[in-house]
Amino acid sequence: MKIKELSEEVTMVLMHPVISKLTGKLVVLASSSPRRLEILTNVGLRFEVVPSWFKETLDKRLFKTPHEYAVENAKMKALEVAKRMPFKHLKIPDIVIGADTVVTVDGLILEKPLDKQDAYRMLSRLSGKEHSVFTGVTIILCHEKDGKIDYQVIDFYEETKVKFANLSDDLLWEYINSGEPMDKAGGYGIQALGGMLVEYVHGDFLNVVGFPLNHFCKMLGVIFSSQPGSLTQTSPQTSPECCLLNNVPSGEPNVIRPPGSPAVNSPIDIHLPNSLPASPANKVKQEESGESEVPRTSVNSLSKLSEPQDTSDLAAPDATSRGAIHNVTECDTGNDMEGLSKIIVLMDGFKASKALFTASKLCVFDVLRGSKTGHLAVEDVARQIKASLKGTERLLEACVSLGLLQRTGKEYANTELSRRFLLSDALYSLQGYIQHCDQMVWPLFSHLESNVKEGNNQREKAFRKNTDCILQDGYYSRCEEKLRFMNAMHSIAKISGRDVATAFDLSQYKTACDLGGCTGAMAYELAKAHPGLSVTVFDLPEVIEMSSHFRPQEADDRVLFVGGNFFEDELPKADIYILARILHDCSDEKIHILLNKISKSCNPGCAVLVSEIFLDEDRTGPSRGLLQALSMTEGIQRSASEYSFLLESHGFDTLHVKHTHNLLDAILCVKEFGKH
């Protein structure tokens, strides 16, 4: 038999029974990685791809090992999709699969490089050394009962060791310039050109590509053998895992059985993974004794985060366990480290924000960039920012812990993250918005309690002045405030503008008017994305006056600036009106006045593009929107369908809604024929 035939045969025998169990189920891959997609498609799995919106901002410090971090990322990605689908896609998946791959070397976790320099730094660190590739995988089983959805979470990870040859700079740059490293953990793709860099691989090759298929199939086998019958028939309240996990006597292996003892009622004959424990010591023991390690599961894989940990009451005392099955709603009682760490992150959130605001205000990131080597000792930073030695040291250390700075010996330097977003002249600098948060939003939040009690904005208390509509005059009483506000708007518009501008096909429109277009950042993105479009930025005269400060060096002459008040003055004629971050802070009444004006200057076929943070339809997220609402003046955050409803009442039909994965979403509505 030829090798190909043999492998097909093996596939039929080993994989097909497990994969075929998923036939007819709505299986969802919460990842857009083409490599994962290919690996799963190749084994005949039918699934939908719903990329996760979970932002990978977990604090790595909270994890004792890289695999815990990867598993948690995988879990958060999968849970986000599992919880979003019923509302956004109006269907409940049966199974959601999430995965996260990280590369670790010298105690550092390497994720995807931010730019070519970052890729170079990663790859030269890997050169000539052995590193580990960890993929954390989460399988979520969704069960609906009595109108309530429960999520049962199974997670595991796989480690593969990879050794790179000694790589010359020439080879590294040639590889980096191929573009391959940019979307890959550790900055290389083993399945393509990156394979040239590799001397050896110990472990599952596909794990390095991005998905440990073998372990995944074994895990599915475990799930089926422990859960007789259809997955969807088993409710979490009565599922074997849950019962076992709740009731298992201390120390006894539970739902996952040792190899060689097939599960009773097992619909398939796949034994347990010969789970290789993560620690080298255990690995040696297994190899020497020839024993198969019995994989174990824990009530809550995150219990490993606690230190010291009393494992006596856990089903899986082995902290190196590579698989965990637990139920998010029913089984996570006690020892809830996940919950605890969430609350701690929330409690400390304001400290982290203020550390960022202060470092940014004192120009720490610019000062470090300005030094010859990019590194400075604390004394030099303190001198340059004109601050105390002690205070500066604390601030720098806090910034290191937040991933904003890095320390080598006694010197500090910017991280890729701060280079990208925190330098004042970075292309995507958030400096303006950070300063706005510090000066304008922070004082409002310090009066949140009164705000909640009284139900109104606390501007008077926070700034000793009051105004009905901050958009019209509140921000602009002083030049400095005006510039700060414009800077803040500019930084967000720069970051989200391209995604909003390219959210829809606007090729049929020749003229656009960006109402409240501020610095023109969004207008320039629109003009760039749509070569046939001219854009008028319409904003208050005092804003238009200052907008030249923000004009790009090679400004597109299809962007024009016109001063005026959109509530009072005639609107410039246009085929499409843009309302980016205008409506959320207006009452329904004001929105109707504005939409009425727009509707009157629109011919049928003309359009309105609204860009805002769209709330989930059940108003349970996203937190960014709901937290922003806490300091809003007279408006409310709305969902896409609420915006759609408002526009409909002025004769606009919703064509498309786009969740951009960026800071702002967008909705495109078109004026119907025959409507007012």
Ligand X SMILES: C[S@@+](CC[C@H](N)C(=O)[O-])C[C@H]1O[C@@H](n2cnc3c(N)ncnc32)[C@H](O)[C@@H]1O
Cα–Cα distance between 291 and 560 in angstroms, integer?
Answer: 75
Phi, psi (deg, nearest 5) at residue 289: -80, -15
665-671 and 411-414: which strand pairing? unpaired
* List of E strands, 481-586: 511-515, 534-539, 559-563, 576-580
Confirm or reject binding of residue 539 to ligand X (CB under 6 A).
Answer: yes
Cα–Cα distance between 25 and 10 in angstroms, integer?
Answer: 24
Name the one range near ligand X by CB under 6 A: 283-291, 363-371, 503-511, 535-543.
Answer: 535-543
- Considering only 472, 477, 508, 620, the residue that binds ligand X (CB under 6 A) is 472
576-580 and 607-612: which strand pairing? parallel
Site residues for ligand X, window 73-132 (CB under 6 A)?
none
Which lies closer to ligand X via its Cβ, residue 136 or residue 517? 517
- Considering only 20, 250, 265, 565, the residue that binds ligand X (CB under 6 A) is 565
Which lies closer to ligand X via its Cβ, residue 358 or residue 601? 601
Confirm or reject binding of residue 432 to ligand X (CB under 6 A).
Answer: no
Confirm or reject binding of residue 493 to ligand X (CB under 6 A).
Answer: yes
Confirm or reject binding of residue 520 to ligand X (CB under 6 A).
Answer: no
Which lies closer to ligand X via its Cβ, residue 493 or residue 615? 493
Query: Nearest approach, Cβ of 518 to ligand X (angstroms)?
Result: 3
Instruction: Tell me, yes or no, if 100 is annotated catalytic.
Output: yes
Residue 615: DSSP 8-state? B
Which lies closer to ligand X via its Cβ, residue 66 or residue 517? 517
Confirm or reject binding of residue 535 to ligand X (CB under 6 A).
Answer: no
Which lies closer to ligand X via its Cβ, residue 211 or residue 550? 550
**How many chain residues bind ligand X (CB under 6 A)?**
18
Which of 420, 423, 439, 441 minimizes the C-alpha distance to 431?
Answer: 423
Which lies closer to ligand X via its Cβ, residue 38 or residue 569? 569
Site string for ligand X, 570-599 (x = CB under 6 A): ----------xxx-----------------
Cα–Cα distance between 552 and 571 in angstroms, integer?
Answer: 25
Name the one range near ligand X by CB under 6 A: 45-53, 223-231, 485-493, 548-556.
Answer: 485-493
Name the one range near ligand X by CB under 6 A: 414-422, 562-570, 617-625, 640-648.
Answer: 562-570
Name the one range near ligand X by CB under 6 A: 35-43, 76-84, 549-557, 559-567.
Answer: 559-567
Which lies closer to ligand X via its Cβ, residue 69 or residue 577? 577
- Considering only 285, 567, 655, 672, the residue that binds ligand X (CB under 6 A) is 567
Confirm or reject binding of residue 543 to ligand X (CB under 6 A).
Answer: yes
Which lies closer to ligand X via its Cβ, residue 359 or residue 462? 462
Cα–Cα distance between 428 and 607 in angstroms, integer?
Answer: 29
Confirm or reject binding of residue 526 to ligand X (CB under 6 A).
Answer: no
Total count of residues recorded for the chain: 676
Cα separations in angstroms, 590 against 465, 636, 646: 22, 12, 11
Convert 132-192 into a string of H (helix), E (strand) and C (coil).
EEEEEEEEEEEEEECCEEEEEEEEEEEEEEEEECCCCHHHHHHHHHCCHHHHCHHHCCCCC
Residue where the block lists tokens 């480690």:
159
Query: Nearest approach, Cβ of 84 to ligand X (angstroms)?
Result: 25
Residue where the block lists tokens 């910017």:
414
Name the one range near ligand X by CB under 6 A: 163-171, 339-347, 430-438, 510-518.
Answer: 510-518
Name the one range near ligand X by CB under 6 A: 177-185, 202-210, 399-407, 487-495.
Answer: 487-495
**Distance between start and end Cα atoms, the chain:** 74
Q: Are 463 and 478 in contact (CB under 8 A)?
A: no
Confirm or reject binding of residue 517 to ligand X (CB under 6 A).
Answer: yes
Using a 10 angstrom Cβ sphere, with 0-12 exposed, 13-18 middle and 19 or more buried, the burial of residue 15 is: buried
Query: Nearest approach, Cβ of 79 to ligand X (angstroms)?
Result: 31
Query: Nearest approach, Cβ of 353 to ligand X (angstroms)?
Result: 20
Site string for ligand X, 8-37 (x = CB under 6 A): ------------------------------
How many CB atoms lie under 10 A from the CB of residue 378? Answer: 19
Cα–Cα distance between 466 and 450 in angstroms, integer?
Answer: 15
Phi, psi (deg, nearest 5) at residue 485: -65, -45
Which residue has the CB atom at the shortest distance from ligand X? 516
- Considering only 471, 503, 512, 527, the residue that binds ligand X (CB under 6 A) is 471
Phi, psi (deg, nearest 5) at residue 648: -60, -35
Which lies closer to ligand X via its Cβ, residue 286 or residue 502? 502
Confirm or reject binding of residue 669 to ligand X (CB under 6 A).
Answer: no
Cα–Cα distance between 660 and 504 in angstroms, integer?
Answer: 11
Cα–Cα distance between 428 and 412 in angstroms, integer?
Answer: 22
Which lies closer to ligand X via its Cβ, residue 133 or residue 609? 609
Catalytic residue among 100, 332, 499, 539: 100
Name the one range near ligand X by CB under 6 A: 208-216, 248-256, 356-364, 512-520.
Answer: 512-520
Cα–Cα distance between 496 and 543 in angstroms, integer?
Answer: 20
Confirm or reject binding of residue 640 to ligand X (CB under 6 A).
Answer: no
Which of 369, 379, 303 minimizes the C-alpha distance to 340?
Answer: 303
- Considering only 518, 523, 608, 640, the residue that binds ligand X (CB under 6 A) is 518
511-515 and 411-414: which strand pairing? unpaired
Residue ranges that bind ligand X, judged by CB under 6 A: 471-472, 489, 492-493, 516-518, 522, 539-540, 543, 565-567, 580-582
Task: Name the residues annotated as catalytic.
Answer: 100
